[in-house]
Amino acid sequence: MTTEQPLASYLPASGNLSVSAMLRGMRRQWLWFYTRLFAVILYLPSVFILLFSFNSGIHVAFPLKEWTFDWYIALGRNGALLTAAGNSLKVGVAASLMSTTIGVLGGFALVRYRWPGGQGLTALSMMPLLMPSIIMGISLLVLLRTIGFGNSLTAITIGHIVFCTPLSLSIMMSRFVTLDRTLEEAALDLGANEIGTFLKITLPLSVSAIAASIILCLTASIDEFVIAFFLAGTDVTLPLYIWGQLRFPSRLPEILALGSCMLLGTLALIVVGEMLRRRGAAQNVT
């Protein structure tokens, strides 16, 4: 079924023009048009950030002045920004590896074994996804302060592990649900113990999903603002750096250039992660 037939093709070839067939055709056209418009509007704010990052004028307004790469060149010379980018990368890598490890172990335990109140356990682990970030931010702040932990990059990393774990858990659980159990059972029947089966059968068959989880958590951590806002000490991450610069109108073009890099980077990673996840779901018998 194609979705882009010209309107005329919905008209019956014979002279007997059916109004209802034409209306049906128009409705399909309307939905297709609406979906396209929707997709365009979805990307619109990001497109404006990208467009004006190449504009030589300081103001974000039409008409555009000259095209320039100056703002991107300035990014490379901005020491504070590069430090923030380094911090974001450190926090993101640590948080994504930790939360993916937790997601793999916890997801496997939840999918393979029966637990008292199993459904509730899963729902409870997904709770950080539903909570407003500000509640997460302040409650983690209070918790870390209570156990004598100051605001720092480490505190942000802990916050991001809590924040990213449900993401990883949902990816890993859907992987383990679709994984062909007979492969694991065969290994157990042939004398492997549970740990050996997990390491030699389950994990290798889940590599794509694990990679997808790491990528998703990495982008989520690098882009996360509110939790980091409450847990940050003197060292800032990229979104915090951007937040601090928003007060200064003259810094706006540089922020647009930085924002463009982050938006495009995230989109590229998400597409790669989605491809890996898709491949992982299909990967049952090798």
Partner 1 sequence: MRSMRQRVGRYLLLTPLGVTSILTVVIALGLITVLSFQRTDPAALFTDFTWAAYQDNVARPLFWRVLGRSLVISALVTIVTIVLAYPVAYFISFKAGQAKHILLVIVSAPFFTSYLLRIFGWKIILGFNGVLNSALLGLGLIDQPLAFLVYNPGAVIIALSHAYLAFAILPIYVSLDRIERALLEAASDLGARPASVFLKIVLPLSAPGVISAAVLIFVPTVGDYITPTLVGGPEGVMVANLIQSAFGKANDWPAGSAMSVATILTVGIPLLILFSLGHRRARSNA
Please, which of residues 5-64 interact with partner 1 by CB under 8 A? 24, 27-28, 31-32, 34-35, 38-39, 41-46, 48-49, 52, 59-63
Nearest distance from C-beta of residue 41 to partner 1, angstroms:
7
Nearest distance from C-beta of residue 23 to partner 1, angstroms:
9
Q: Is 138 in the site for partner 1 (CB under 8 A)?
A: yes
Rule CB under 8 A: choose which of 21, 80, 82, 134 binds partner 1: 134
From CA 237, how far away is CA 99, in angstroms rounded? 19
CA angle 55, 61, 62 (to 5 degrees): 85
Q: Is 181 in the site for partner 1 (CB under 8 A)?
A: no
What Cα–Cα distance (Å) separates residue 153 from each residue in 39, 72, 163, 234, 250? Answer: 36, 26, 15, 9, 28
Angular region, 193: left φ>0, alpha ψ -120 to 50, beta rest: beta
Question: Taking CB under 8 A as the rule, which mask of x and - marks residues 221-250 in contact with partner 1?
Answer: --x-xx--xx--------x--xx--x----
Secondary structure in 3-state letters for 171-194 = HHHHHHHHCCHHHHHHHHHCCCCH
Q: Is 78 in the site for partner 1 (CB under 8 A)?
A: no
Q: Which of 242, 252, 219 is nearest to 48 (CA)?
A: 252
Residues with Cβ within 8 Å of 116's Cβ and at least 6 positions away in sequence, in order, are: none
Nearest distance from C-beta of residue 16 to partner 1, angstroms:
20
Cβ atoms within 10 Å, residue 18: 13
* Among 75-83, 105-113, 179-187, 202-210, the segment contacting partner 1 (CB under 8 A): 105-113
Nearer to partner 1, 1 or 13 (CB): 1
Which amino acid is present at 228? A
* Among 10-18, 157-165, 179-187, 203-211, the segment contacting partner 1 (CB under 8 A): 157-165
Q: Is 274 in the site for partner 1 (CB under 8 A)?
A: yes
